[in-house]
Structure 1
Amino acid sequence: MKKTNLLAMLIGTFFLSVVSTAQTKPFQKEEFKQWAQTPPMGWNSWDCYGPTVEEHEVKANADYMAKELKKFGWEYVVVDIRWFVENDKAGGYNQTDPRYVIDQYGRYLPAVNRFPSAKDGQGFKPLADYIHRKGLKFGIHIMRGIPKKAVEEKMPIKGANGITADQVYSTALQCEWLRDNYTVVADKPGAQEYYNSIFELYAQWGVDFIKIDDLSRPYHEGEINLIRNAIDHCGRKIVLSTSPGETPISAAQHVTTHANMWRMVDDVWDTWPHITHLMDVAQKWYPYISPGTWPDCDMIPLGRISIRGERGNDRMTRLTKDEQYTLITFFNIFKSPLFFGGDLPSNDAFTLSLLTNKEVVKMHNESTAVKQLFQKDGKIAVTSKNAKDGSVYLALFNISDKESQKVSVNLSELGISGAAEVLNMWTGKKSKIASKEIGADLKPHSSVLYQLKSKN
């Protein structure tokens, strides 16, 4: 071997050693809250591709995000469920004869027939590198627990001194709707090491975001503790999203100290009852909206969805334009994380406009003191403030099914006395108001979003 090649190898080995050492430094308690000071924004493959998304589709959505959305704050590209199954299917899951891809330590690997760049044991690193080069961030979905295959084959747990997968599992509380994994018993020797091992792998891949399923209903406090510890010790800033809902309000204190975002409800699809149910459940979560820890409204089922999805056929969202405005207005004023579920390259101009309104994005990022003023008789009012420019935001909703209604708020409830300048944030129309209240006549399922600035 030439001396120059040997020197290059030695330098490379030293560099990797330095990087590895730096990446294993544990984070301080609750430092993770600094990783998502504003609600995360991105794209998730679930609504349009279910468990069948392929690498070229992920890249196409990343390309679109970099070109059209990045400048508005959208940055995460997330590969959802079962990326480790070679032969999954649309409209559900293949639980008859799934072909898992897994390494010798019981850790799932991307299926190369769907993610060709994962060949030769590279995992998701090449795909993550592609996304990072665009100035974006990369995320994945996993199920809680340890693979059944690892248990059945008694695979060793990396770093656990001879402990094998069959020594840390339980069949109790196994996920009811997807049977790939068993529960990890949190106090078993080797349990923490298993979670440490998978997050060590994800950190090596360059994962920035992880959505973990079957954690919240019922609430698996023990495994969430293991996951939080594993992330904090992997040395990489990985945003943690627990899923799905409904996360019990009794777990609010725990989840806000362990997760960056958590689901309030089960999957939100493109039907009106899903939206009204979300608004109803969200009422109890307003007090927990805080930098670094966010109640999560779920993915945004707009644009083109279910190309190979779980529910229904390939379609543009079934929600009317009024209902789409209502959904996106609520997600934004509530300061939910925003994860678009449709296929981004298929967006029409209207769908794109819902994601790129500068004033709405500013509200989503900068507003504080979010609270619901009332929800009664099909009328909802939600407000927040922007301490940077002194403005007040107000969203009014008519969620009734049959009749138009005037929805109004007294300006005193918004802390405004006297005249105010008003901006309709979706139309861009400006006006002035000198009366004691502000309101709008709203059709069923419609809404309005205002920014108010006091002239006093």
Structure 2
Amino acid sequence: MTNSQSLPHHAWAKTPPLGWNSFICYGSSVTEKQFKENVDAFAEKLAPLGWEYVVLDFCWSHPDPGPVANPNQEAGYTPALACDEYGRLLPSVERFPGAANGVGLRELADYTHSKGLKFGLHIMRGIPRQAVDANLPIKGSNATAGDIADTDSKCTWLNHMFGVDHSKDGAQAYYDSLFELYAEWGVDYIKADDILTDYPGPYHKSEIEAIHAAIAKCGRPMVLSLSPGPAPVNQAEHLRDHANLWRMSADFWDQWKKLYEMFYLCNAWTNCGAEGYWPDADMLPMGRIALCGPEGDPRDSLFTFDEQKTMITLWSIFRSPLMLGGDVPTLDEATLSLLTNPEVIAVNQAGSKPRQLYRHQTLVAWISEAPEEGEYYLALFNLADENDTVPITFSQIGLGNYLEFRDLWAQKDIGVFEKNYSIELPPHSSALYRVRKPKH
């Protein structure tokens, strides 16, 4: 798929978003205090390099959800969520005291904006079950929650919502009212969940279209991210036309097997992203994670330093959004160095037309075009469990027999090479270069 059509919402994410999301650290139980502590650290450590989004993930309406709120489809369901008279979820004041007196998340968004950052919010598709139980009215419509709910459409991992039947009057009005509220709060980014694929469940096309339409009406630009994957590749054009980013995989965690598999997914989604719309390889499980669930006990990332470097290299050359999942206040210097290398960030933000150049079993090369004519970004990967040499023949690049290499991780020029180049890499590691014809 090529960028044959530039749509208004594409202007809201001209480059892959760079940010932080609370899920990998705090699961469903993040508090206002924890969120603000990460905002402060993010503004200090990451924002100077162009990182800008901080995203509050799921269950912010629940007063005491635990690490994962009500994971079973039916057992344990209680109408405990904070909700207004129109069936719209509100932040729990027990966890977000700044939301008292009807302020909602405006105070938290204002705090985020005061740091020069943008505020993101996780939502679940559909309408709260408790709104359906109470048959609450839909703002801007004569319909009620019971009229528009599809009670057969349920999330399999969080039992708070029913889907919305978009053949019913009032369905679009409900989503319009949601985004009217989010615009009042000052939301800049929406992560809409349970909406792509819950294998073997459906692709929720009508819900995606309803959210897209509601954002267009609300009067405030909001980047739209769709989760969880795997998104269906045969819906790439529909995704481009209605969202800014979409997940290629199920939840990504700090396991080499998942990173290894991501190389196949990135290759499958080649040519499906461009300015304004991005296939998303998911959050970066780096630093201190799982502080409050949902995946095991609190720990440092299980990825080695080389594996984290490989992850950032792949995400950058492919131009996936970069969304950190680790606790920002406690980031160590080594991890921070992987997130704040300006020459690597430039590959993610300024490259174009990324593609796999070759794959020979566990040896992989990717390439993308750099902004300067006749220059390319080149990533080499050793996915094997032992040292191996990764080669590149210059005829594969097409710039001639002599190329000048700059090591972007080291931020230094390493010389001019003739016809080919190779590097011995440790297991699960990578190298990233800018290559061009010598200027002299």
TM-score by length of 1: 0.91
State the partner residue of 2:371.
387
Q: Are 1:430 and 2:405 counterparts?
A: no
State the partner residue of 2:41.
64
Mapped contact 1:80–1:140 kept (Cα < 8 A) = yes
Q: How does 1:169-208 map to 2 (within 5 A)?
A: 169-208=149-188
State the partner residue of 2:393.
410
Q: Are 1:223 and 2:207 counterparts?
A: yes
Q: How does 1:91-106 map to 2 (within 5 A)?
A: 91=68, 93=70, 96=76, 98=78, 99-106=80-87
State the partner residue of 2:430.
447
d(CA) in 1 for partners of 2:361 and 2:348? 27
State the partner residue of 1:323.
307
Mapped contact 2:71–2:157 kept (Cα < 8 A) = no
Mapped contact 2:359–2:365 kept (Cα < 8 A) = yes
**Aligned partner of residue 337 in structure 2, secondary structure:** helix
- 1:73 is aligned, of 46, 50, 70, to 50
d(CA) in 1 for partners of 2:311 and 2:157? 27
Mapped contact 2:403–2:438 kept (Cα < 8 A) = yes
Q: How does 1:20-419 map to 2 (within 5 A)?
A: 30-91=7-68, 93=70, 96=76, 98=78, 99-160=80-141, 162-217=142-197, 218-388=202-372, 390-401=374-385, 403-419=386-402
Classify 1:355/1:389 alpha carbon distance in 2 versus 1 (closer, same or farther; 3 Å). Answer: farther
Partner AA of 1:425 in structure 2: L
- Higher alpha-carbon deviation: 378-387 or 296-305: 378-387
Structure 1 residues 342-386: Cα deviation after superposition (integer angstroms, max 9, x where no partner): 000010001110110010111211111211112231111110111
d(CA) in 2 for partners of 1:351 and 1:315? 14
Using the TM superposition, give the Cα deviation of residue 94 of structure 1 relative to its aligned residue in structure 2, in angstroms.
Answer: 6.4
Mapped contact 2:343–2:411 kept (Cα < 8 A) = no
Q: How large is the RMSD of aligned CA atoms in angstroms?
A: 1.5
Partner AA of 1:82 in structure 2: C
Mapped contact 2:70–2:77 kept (Cα < 8 A) = no
Mapped contact 2:403–2:418 kept (Cα < 8 A) = no
d(CA) in 2 for partners of 1:204 and 1:147? 20
d(CA) in 1 for partners of 2:176 and 2:47? 32
Structure 1 residues 123-150: Cα deviation after superposition (integer angstroms, max 9, x where no partner): 0000100110111000110110111111
Using the TM superposition, give the Cα deviation of residue 389 of structure 1 relative to its aligned residue in structure 2, in angstroms.
Answer: 6.1
Mapped contact 2:403–2:417 kept (Cα < 8 A) = yes
**Aligned partner of residue 411 in structure 2, secondary structure:** coil
* Structure 1 portions without partners, runs of 5+: 1-28
Mapped contact 1:263–1:297 kept (Cα < 8 A) = yes
Post-superposition, which runs of at least 4 consecutive aligned residues in structure 1 deviate over 4 A? none
d(CA) in 1 for partners of 2:190 and 2:133? 26
**Aligned partner of residue 380 in structure 1, secondary structure:** strand
**Aligned partner of residue 100 in structure 2, secondary structure:** helix
Structure 1 residues 242-297: Cα deviation after superposition (integer angstroms, max 9, x where no partner): 00000011111100110000000011101101111121122111111200000000
d(CA) in 2 for partners of 1:427 and 1:76? 27
- Higher alpha-carbon deviation: 280-289 or 131-140: 280-289
Mapped contact 2:20–2:54 kept (Cα < 8 A) = yes
- Higher alpha-carbon deviation: 228-237 or 440-449: 440-449
Mapped contact 1:47–1:341 kept (Cα < 8 A) = yes
Using the TM superposition, give the Cα deviation of residue 69 of structure 1 relative to its aligned residue in structure 2, in angstroms.
Answer: 1.1
Percent identical pairs in the alignment equals: 44
d(CA) in 1 for partners of 2:336 and 2:362? 29
Using the TM superposition, give the Cα deviation of residue 420 of structure 1 relative to its aligned residue in structure 2, in angstroms.
Answer: 2.2
**Aligned partner of residue 344 in structure 1, secondary structure:** coil
d(CA) in 2 for partners of 1:393 and 1:426? 12
- Higher alpha-carbon deviation: 97-106 or 110-119: 97-106
**Aligned partner of residue 286 in structure 1, secondary structure:** coil
d(CA) in 2 for partners of 1:261 and 1:296? 6
d(CA) in 1 for partners of 2:70 and 2:309? 32
* Structure 2 portions without partners, runs of 5+: 1-5
Mapped contact 2:285–2:301 kept (Cα < 8 A) = yes
**Aligned partner of residue 324 in structure 1, secondary structure:** helix
Mapped contact 1:92–1:310 kept (Cα < 8 A) = no
